[in-house]
Amino acid sequence: MIRTFTTTLVAATAVCASTIAAHGAVLVGNDISHFDRSQNGDSVNVFYTNHVAMPGDGTVDAVHVAYQGGSGSMQSFQLIQLRSTGVEGEYTIVNMSDVLDLTGYTVDEVAVLSLGTPWEVLAGDIFGFYGAGIPFETLDNVDWDSNEQPTYYQAGFTWTYNAGDTFSLSDLPQLPSPTFDRDYGYAVSFIPEPASLALLGLGGLVMLRRRSGDR
């Protein structure tokens, strides 16, 4: 089941919740088509990024979560847009959302949380979050291509960065790896610019030709 739910802290906009919408949106991020992640959410606030890069320039207007019920009252997070500085592991925060609340969704539902005004993105930008409520898996799963990445947390850890700030992942407290490398169930709705859309289409055509040539 998929429905759009606008939080009280984010302005309402119409969000198409299909994987490929009429306006050309595609989901970029971790696989959200499966709801069998072993953990339904964190009981504390954590920072995590899936390191999945935007495939071109464009905009992002929503985040989709494969909701599994969260953990108690821990049902909210902030989406964070990151842009590499060119130094390994170092990023500038381009945008941070208001608090996005998952309260009101049902288990095994794709929650679609609007960002209000779409965010401009460049090819290579990645998205992370600070908060809780998003389900995760800690092990490779045979049902989908999982994407385990480090999770950042320690007792007393609070996210203190704002839009415009630059930080290094090495500055953050990291949970012991690989036990806490996780695959969180979220992805963003990416709307490519016309030039990027053409390149994405060309890339798909190349893949089709390669597959045809392999036969």
pLDDT tens per residue across span 41-79 = 999 999 999 999 999 999 999 999 999 999 999 999 999
Judged on CB neighbours under 10 Å (0-12, 13-18, 19+), 80 is buried
Helices (H), 66-171: none
Tokens read off for 168: 């290094």
pLDDT at 6 over 50: no
How far is the C-alpha of 10 from the C-alpha of 3, rounded, in Å?
16
pLDDT digits (tens, 9 = 90+) for 8-26: 222 222 223 334 444 589 9
**What is the pLDDT averaged over residues 102-116?**
96
Rounded alpha-carbon distances, angstroms, from residue 173 to 17, 24, 36: 34, 38, 28
Q: What predicted TM-score, i.e. pTM, was given to this entire model?
A: 0.81
pLDDT at site 11: 27
